[in-house]
Copies of this chain bind each other. A is one copy, B any other.
């Protein structure tokens, strides 16, 4: 079944719904704003593709100065390489013979780089790389406080770095550490202090590795929520921000200096009660783990509940004339997971559909 999409030139309010609408002018402004922020810093951008999930936007980020991309999953990295991006970091552990075989295959077609947090995994990747006659670049993943993946900083990470460096088929390139536990802290002062503490662990671990005479040119970390602190921390060479490009309601509420460029266009499908409007966007078209979406442009309108295919909006003012067929823009509170529900972006400039992009990285959780 071919998806029915509107032709370029269609006014955004005439798009059928639900539609994931990307304001490309705002996206371009966000890309430029981050590039300007980093212009006077030694830290470069390595944007996270897990937000937008497309090669076309990755190339725009690289054209604006990004050193390469990072990906959460091997499938996202494959999508990027197939889309012509060469410098890709899989910022996660790649485990098991099937995925390691795919990783090694990527090394033939790109400058792939992968995170490791234990020696056994490093040895297996090295063996597969040697068998294939390639070299896989490696960052030692360091736990800087998130307590998810990552070797402990200082001696454990240093020991692992030595093991990586001694493994033929691998090239130790540096360290990475993601302070993901801090990106949503509401207090800017506290976030700054804790982000610096996290980056101190990472950079001091890098220094220990260099003391051993090993290469540790890359020190990679950070997200949109901590970008101003992480990118300014001496010795951090790469910033892994993703969400800044499209933004979302949660980051907007935190005052991040980027524009919200992503909405879900909804239609009213029922209005049987004066203070209640039912939309055709539910939890299968917009995520809500970070909070219910915001209604834009309708004062006093609030999403109070999502069912699978419906959004329930309560109105303060029953005279708001929303009728079946009328359009409403919803701002998602979490961009990454909302994008993951959709197959395509409706790319809009100045209120008019410019093009439609497949979200090739959607669902690439393998």
Contact = CB atoms under 8 A, between A and B. Distances in A.
Interface of A: 1, 3-4, 16-19, 50, 72-73, 75, 78-79, 82, 92-93, 95-96, 98-99, 102, 117-118, 120-121, 143, 147-152, 180, 267-270, 272-273, 276, 278, 280-285, 287-289, 307-310, 312, 324-325, 336-337, 340-343, 360, 363, 365-366
Query: 4 nearest interchain CB pairs?
Result: A149-B270, A285-B365, A72-B309, A93-B269
B118 A337 contact: no
Given A1-B75, A121-B324, A180-B307, 8 more contacts: A3-B366, A16-B99, A19-B366, A92-B269, A93-B269, A117-B270, A147-B276, A280-B365
Chief secondary structure at chain A's binding surface:
loop
Contacts of A3: 366
Contacts of A148: 270, 278, 307, 310, 312
Nearest to A102: B4
A78 B2 CA distance: 10
19 contacts: A1-B79, A16-B98, A17-B96, A50-B308, A73-B309, A93-B270, A95-B267, A95-B268, A96-B325, A117-B272, A118-B272, A143-B272, A148-B270, A149-B269, A149-B270, A150-B272, A282-B365, A340-B341, A341-B363
Copies in the complex: 2
A342 B340 CA distance: 10
A149 B280 CA distance: 11
A112 to B, nearest CB: 15
A18 B289 contact: no
A300 B282 CA distance: 34
Contacts of A336: 284, 308
